[in-house]
């Protein structure tokens, strides 16, 4: 901070990193409110606080956003050690409260007692929509299998609109280019993941994550579901819920004769990896992806069968083929290794043609 005036140094002390200041919780029990182990922070806050992800005017700023684990009723409170005041000429603190109010729906609590009262009513919360899939994951810490369920919902489900308004606020903190969708458009489908847990002998449900899918029209009588948003909340990440959700959604659309194929809107690198895993799992049981067929090269049979049976488009089928062929290839065998590399190379240079000019230089022309 060399070269700064005394006042500039003083004001710099009132800058807070909003990714650190925002504290999120999914609360199941009253004691969770004081348990730091249940707290997690955003990955992003630039859509609310600007590209620098900084709030000015506070020391020790804490932006508390606590959610009841199931229905996501919200406690919102701001705490800080000190704030700039009239001693600082022409300087005002950022209106943090207004910025947060822009993204969280009304009806939130501002004091702990009201929030705990709502927590006591959580036993009445039940998942929305139609149950699609139930699965279990072993929890080493608890020493038992935990049950999870995936549901399909829409805006006709009583209470779901209000629940979704609270759920979608998490997108702003964990998806870099997130935006809220038009829930009045009936072509949206919503898929929700819940954990079943026990509290005082009763079975309750905690929100784990969700996905939104938009059904695009394809002439003349088909639809193309496109995954728009997918989020597994941080306390549940790394446990396999993303794969369970994506596979369940894929299987749901596979059963529809009107679905052409399934795509994704601007997929992240992590989503592409997840999709590769799920599609490989689905395709590996098809006869056209047997080791013998794989070693014969990519074929129209693979494209047709993957599209008709699994609603996978040609581009994704090609990725699956290369992954499965790599698994079937003995890379220690010089001939098999060379054959695989050449196969991939042909795919990479396929969109281009080249010719030589009068000087003998190779000129490439994109023919896509």
Q: Which residues are catalytic?
A: 265
CA 239 to CA 137: how far, in whole Å? Answer: 8
Please state whether 9 falls in left (phi above 0), alpha (psi between -120 and 50) or beta. Answer: alpha
- What tokens were used for 4? 């700064």
CA 323 to CA 54: how far, in whole Å? Answer: 43
User: CA dihedral in degrees (242, 246, 249, 251; nearest 10)?
Assistant: -130
DSSP annotation string for 245-258: HHHHHHHHHHT-TT
CA 340 to CA 331: how far, in whole Å? Answer: 9
Query: What one-character DSSP code corresponds to residue 137?
Result: E
Q: Measured in Å, how far apart are the chain's first and last C-alpha atoms?
A: 53
Place of tokens 């950022």: 94
């Amino acid at each position: 901070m060399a070269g700064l005036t005394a006042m500039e140094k003083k004001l710099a002390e009132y800058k807070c990193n909003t990714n650190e200041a925002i504290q999120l919780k999914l609360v199941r029990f009253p004691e969770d409110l004081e348990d730091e182990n249940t707290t997690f922070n955003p990955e992003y806050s630039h859509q609310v606080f600007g590209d620098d992800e900084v709030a000015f005017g506070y020391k020790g700023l804490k932006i508390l956003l606590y959610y009841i684990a199931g229905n996501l009723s919200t406690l919102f409170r701001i705490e800080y050690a000190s704030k700039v005041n009239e001693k600082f000429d022409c300087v005002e603190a950022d209106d943090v409260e207004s910025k947060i109010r822009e993204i969280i729906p009304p009806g939130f609590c501002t004091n702990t007692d009201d929030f705990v009262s709502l927590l006591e009513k959580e036993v009445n919360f039940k998942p929305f929509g139609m149950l699609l899939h139930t699965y279990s994951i072993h929890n080493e810490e608890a020493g038992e299998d935990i049950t999870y369920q995936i549901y399909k919902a829409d805006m006709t489900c009583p209470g779901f609109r209000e629940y979704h308004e609270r759920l979608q606020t998490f997108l702003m903190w964990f998806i870099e280019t997130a935006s809220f969708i038009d829930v009045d458009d009936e072509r949206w489908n919503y898929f929700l993941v819940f954990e079943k847990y026990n509290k005082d002998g009763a079975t309750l449900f905690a929100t784990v994550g969700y996905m939104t899918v938009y059904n695009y029209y394809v002439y003349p009588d088909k639809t193309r579901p496109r995954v728009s948003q997918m989020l597994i909340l941080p306390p549940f990440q790394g446990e396999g819920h993303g794969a369970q959700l994506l596979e369940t959604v894929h299987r749901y659309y596979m059963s529809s004769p009107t679905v052409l194929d399934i795509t994704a809107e601007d997929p992240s690198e992590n989503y592409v990896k997840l999709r590769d895993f799920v599609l490989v799992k689905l395709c590996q049981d098809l006869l056209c992806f047997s080791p013998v067929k794989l070693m014969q090269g990519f074929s129209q049979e693979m494209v047709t069968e993957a599209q008709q049976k699994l609603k996978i488009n040609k581009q994704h089928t090609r990725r699956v083929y290369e992954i499965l062929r790599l698994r079937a290839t003995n890379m220690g065998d010089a001939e098999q290794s060379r054959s695989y590399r050449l196969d991939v190379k042909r795919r990479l240079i396929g969109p281009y043609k080249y010719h030589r000019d009068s000087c003998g230089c190779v000129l490439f022309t994109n023919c896509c």
